[in-house]
């Protein structure tokens, strides 16, 4: 499929853009263009791919996304390598996961090559939007919404796939400080629900628990399993790893209620390469508290595309608080973080073929 190209008639002036890119923050600054591909079940599926000016879209007020929330998304970063070329980190994995989310939400799958092509074309169109700050990246947000005007409850027949880009600064201005987390009494996902799909509804449901965490002075919210309220699942948007003093590392298994993070999958491989034994097995909040107290647990790390790898220093629940290690970043967390960031930036050998060079 060919993408029609319509350059923005009045892109942000160079000076303004360069000024904005000095402190891009996260998620409020957007590049000049967007990718769009439309879908109509009655017109043979995916059609009309374009790269054009980023602008508001027209939606019928009866568009089913507005009523029944058929929406999925991905989050990935384009990096500038040490040699100046642009690259994506394991984008095929995002394409694959996007389609798994689509299947769960009764939405059409998008051919993986089209997903990748749209992302590549966006980076090519908005290369000038790469932030100049150390540790910066161009965050890509591919997503799909149901656009059919229809209030009956059934899967829509029309959809829009889009990619927008947002320059992002270094998530943490100086290294990665340990975060403090609040164990919510709310559940994020139940067995048989949509917890493994990257869909907006999961995030809407996490806003109140996250707000409670913030109100109590924490950085992130922690969710336990919805059935026994005992097993550690994940943070609002990050997966967890527990580093034990006996050289083993535990991460909760993918049982359908946890989002299968691409950073998580990458860390499992990188930690194994350090000679440690990574086990995907259930870990309870009681074990966590006891192991932190006894010293059997050395570190806890949280991971996801946005913050890469982040140490967890403290956990608080209605039953009290506990500190992990000395409350600061641990050894393995720092080592793994540097290794992963190094691979992404092209300063550490990419032995896994994870980095896709774009030019």
Ligand X SMILES: *Cc1c(COP(=O)(O)O)cnc(C)c1O
**Rule CB under 6 A: which residues touch ligand X?**
75, 198, 234, 237-239, 259, 261-264, 304-305
Q: Which is nearer to ligand X, 39 or 161 (CB)?
A: 161
Q: Which is nearer to ligand X, 305 or 333 (CB)?
A: 305
89, 127, 290 from 341: Cα distances, Å? 10, 20, 32
The nearest distance, CB 53 to ligand X, in angstroms, is 28
CB contact set of 344 (below 8 Å; sequence gap of 6+): 77, 79, 87, 89, 308, 355
Task: Please answer whether residues 324 and 292 qualify as being in contact, where contact means their C-beta atoms are separated by less than 8 angstroms.
Answer: yes
Q: Which is nearer to ligand X, 93 or 350 (CB)?
A: 93
Q: Which is nearer to ligand X, 147 or 199 (CB)?
A: 199
Q: What's the CA gap between 37 and 251, in Å, rounded?
A: 37
| Nearest CA-CA partner of 39 in 155, 136, 130 | 155
Q: Which is nearer to ligand X, 150 or 186 (CB)?
A: 186
The nearest distance, CB 309 to ligand X, in angstroms, is 10
The nearest distance, CB 302 to ligand X, in angstroms, is 9
Q: What's the CA gap between 206 and 223, in Å, rounded?
A: 9
The nearest distance, CB 322 to ligand X, in angstroms, is 23
Q: Which is nearer to ligand X, 200 or 342 (CB)?
A: 200
Q: Which is nearer to ligand X, 3 or 231 (CB)?
A: 231
The nearest distance, CB 304 to ligand X, in angstroms, is 4
Q: Find the distance separating the first CA and the last CA of the chain, reported in whole Å.
A: 20
SS3 160: strand
Task: Please answer whether residues 130 and 94 qualify as being in contact, where contact means their C-beta atoms are separated by less than 8 angstroms.
Answer: no
The nearest distance, CB 84 to ligand X, in angstroms, is 25
The nearest distance, CB 12 to ligand X, in angstroms, is 28
What burial class does residue 28 get, using C-beta atoms within 10 Å of its C-beta: 0-12 exposed, 13-18 middle, 19+ buried?
Answer: exposed
Q: What are phi and psi of 324, to 5 degrees?
A: -105, 125
Radius of gyration of the chain (CA): 21
């Amino acid at each position: 499929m060919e993408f029609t190209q319509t350059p923005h008639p009045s892109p942000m002036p160079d000076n303004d853009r360069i000024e904005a890119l000095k402190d891009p923050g996260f998620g409020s600054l957007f590049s000049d263009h967007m990718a769009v591909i439309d879908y109509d079940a009655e017109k043979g599926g995916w059609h009309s791919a374009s790269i054009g000016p980023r602008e508001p879209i027209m939606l019928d007020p009866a568009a089913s996304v507005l009523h029944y929330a058929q929406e999925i998304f991905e989050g990935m970063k384009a990096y500038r390598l040490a040699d100046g070329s642009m690259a994506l980190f394991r984008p095929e994995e995002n394409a694959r996961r996007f389609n798994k989310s689509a299947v769960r939400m009764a939405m059409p799958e998008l051919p993986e090559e089209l997903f990748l092509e749209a992302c590549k074309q966006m980076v090519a169109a908005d290369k000038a939007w790469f932030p100049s700050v150390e540790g910066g990246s161009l965050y890509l947000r591919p997503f799909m919404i149901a656009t059919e005007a229809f209030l009956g409850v059934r899967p829509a027949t029309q959809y829009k796939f889009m990619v927008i880009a947002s320059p992002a600064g270094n998530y943490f201005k100086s290294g990665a400080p340990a975060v403090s987390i609040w164990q919510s009494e709310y559940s994020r996902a139940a067995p048989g629900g949509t917890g493994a799909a990257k869909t907006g509804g999961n995030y809407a449901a996490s806003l109140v628990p996250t707000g409670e965490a913030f109100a109590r002075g924490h950085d992130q919210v922690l969710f336990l399993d919805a059935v026994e309220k005992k097993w550690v699942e994940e943070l609002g948007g990050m997966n967890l790893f527990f580093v034990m003093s006996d050289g083993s590392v535990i991460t909760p298994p993918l049982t359908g209620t946890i989002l299968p993070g691409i950073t998580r999958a990458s860390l499992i491989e990188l930690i194994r390469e350090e000679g440690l034994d990574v086990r995907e097995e259930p870990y309870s909040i009681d074990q966590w508290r006891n192991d932190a107290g006894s010293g059997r647990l050395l570190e806890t790390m949280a991971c996801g595309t946005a913050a890469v790898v982040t140490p967890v220093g403290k956990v608080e629940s209605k039953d009290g608080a506990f500190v992990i290690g000395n409350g600061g970043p641990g050894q393995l967390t720092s080592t793994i973080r540097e290794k992963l960031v190094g691979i992404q930036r092209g300063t550490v050998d990419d032995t896994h073929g994870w980095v896709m060079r774009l030019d």
